Amino acid sequence: MNSRIVLLTSALLLGLAAVPAAGQSRYGERPPVVVSPDLSAPWVMQLGNQPGRRIVRGEADYGVRVQPGARRVMRAEPPVQRRVVRRQGLNIFGTDEVRTAAVPAPRRKQMQPQMDPIYLPQQVEYTGSEKPGTIVIDTSSKFLYLVQAGGKARRYGVGVGQEGMVWTGTQKISRKAVWPDWRPPSEMIVRERAKGRHLPTYMAGGPENPLGARALYLGSTLYRIHGTNAPWTIGTNVSSGCIRLRNEDVVDLYERVGVGTRVVVI
């Protein structure tokens, strides 16, 4: 029994002694650490951004070597041309030079001639013999008067007939129309065609219609007191015999008079 215990103890001691030896033989020579090129690429790329360094990749490795004299060449961008305008301005400290970017001037809108303000509606004195409610049109001064009580009259600027088409006489308002349509008489169509203008035989009422917003028809004649889509012609000899007012003025007059109103053209 004792001899058996001695043998077991000896075998155990020999086994323990052999373990370190086996361990030392297993790790005695460590293999080199191999880094995958795919894993090393990111930091290699970062090193390549350093000034004066150049990345050189071989067939078997990703090394970094510094090449003396290597420089990074940058292309110079062409300078941006900026136009400036200098002007003198004032600040709280006095005169100072202000620099502002030059911008093209906006195109001017083509403006129509303006009507003389004298032809705007106004209240005036009236010393004539016509009764209140009568319309008096002075073709020489281009004024229409609506006679009122107390020696007053409301005066409007008008456009009248061209040379040779001015007429005088007394009529009554036979009809009133809102945004009237226009049927040019045949003689007008022929006359304007000779001047190179082709008039329509009919035009519906509206902003483009030359009769404007309102019309007061005079007796059985072809003449009317009407508005216009060309307000700058007020105060001129421009029509074919009709009396024209600005649209806002003819609307005002339209509301103040009725059918049967006496109209005196002088």
Give the C-alpha separation, 244 to 239, whole Å: 8
226 is catalytic: yes
Give the C-alpha separation, 39 to 59, whole Å: 16
242 is catalytic: yes
Give the C-alpha separation, 154 to 176, whole Å: 20
Instruction: List the catalytic residue out of 226, 227, 228, 247.
Output: 226
Strand boundaries in 139-265, DSSP class E: 143-148, 152-157, 160-161, 169-178, 214-218, 224-226, 237-239, 243-244, 262-265
The closest of 233, 264, 236 to 162, measured between CA atoms, is: 236
The closest of 224, 259, 253, 216 to 241, measured between CA atoms, is: 224
The catalytic site residues sit at 226, 242
